[in-house]
Amino acid sequence: MTNSKIKAFLNKKNKKKITCLTAYSKNIAKILDKYCDLVLVGDSLANVLYGMKNTHKLNLDTMINHAKSVRLGISKSLMVVDMPKDSYKNPKEAKKNAKLIIKKTGCDAIKIENNPKNLNIVKYLSRSKINVMGHIGYTPQFKKKFKVEGKEKKEQIKLLKHAKEIEKAGAFSIVLECISKNTSKRITQELKIPTIGIGSSSICDGQILVTDDVLGISGFYPKFVKKYVNLENIVKKAVKNFVFDVKSKKFPKNKNSF
């Protein structure tokens, strides 16, 4: 199950914080590859790039095409690809589609969103020597309403049990999305595999965000996002300057012409 990149990733637990961001194209991936431990081709591209209300209608071909582009920019980072909602309905279908993703994109692993019914899929893929990243808490593919999970004791016990089952099934890592700090702490402490948080406090072994949110170009900034730059304003300024130059006949100049 472990290749050198996966092994290096696992070895970071309790030693060094893990950094993860999303990419949907070569240009962004090439930048992230210099700094991030993991680059995720996330199904968030449904919302970010295609303006869909959720991720439910994103298809396998679209994910593969974007992942192929991302692969061109990756040389160092661990590359993980999200499996779309309807691509892993049962173990055999999951294996077929996961192998297709890996074959066509050369990614290191796939990620699936977990629910109580698909633990057998993690087991089946892991036994087939496919690297699997799990995902619990708020799982957009399966939950219509957003809410923070793990605040109540019963929820905490349930999430901890689920996380341990995913680890036992063979996952090399697990995303904790919008899970309370206390529950994230227990899961992170009791699991041997790295936990990657998004809206789940700094206690996790690593953090992931959608790159477009970090850059300030998504237009959607939930509480757990930190906008590191307002790229939207920078792009607006560049576009306005271009339009002004063209209309005032300042561009193109002789040096821009053949």
- The pLDDT assigned to 9 comes to 97
The domain defined by 4-227 carries CATH number 3.20.20.60: yes
**Residue 170 near residue 109 (C-beta atoms within 8 A):** no
Say if residue 104 is exposed, middle or buried (CB neighbours under 10 Å; 0-12, 13-18, 19+): middle
pTM recorded for the entire structure: 0.96
Q: Is the pLDDT of residue 104 over 60?
A: yes
pLDDT digits (tens, 9 = 90+) for 14-65: 999 999 999 999 999 999 999 999 999 999 999 999 999 999 999 999 999 9
> Per 3-state DSSP, what percentage of the chain is helix, strand, and coil (rounded to 5)?
40, 15, 45
Domain regions of the chain by residue span: 4-227, 231-258
pLDDT digits (tens, 9 = 90+) for 73-92: 999 999 999 999 999 999 99
Distance CA 39, CA 72 (A): 12
Catalytic residues: 177
- Going by C-alpha positions, the residue among 66, 209, 87, 187 that lies closest to residue 136 is 187
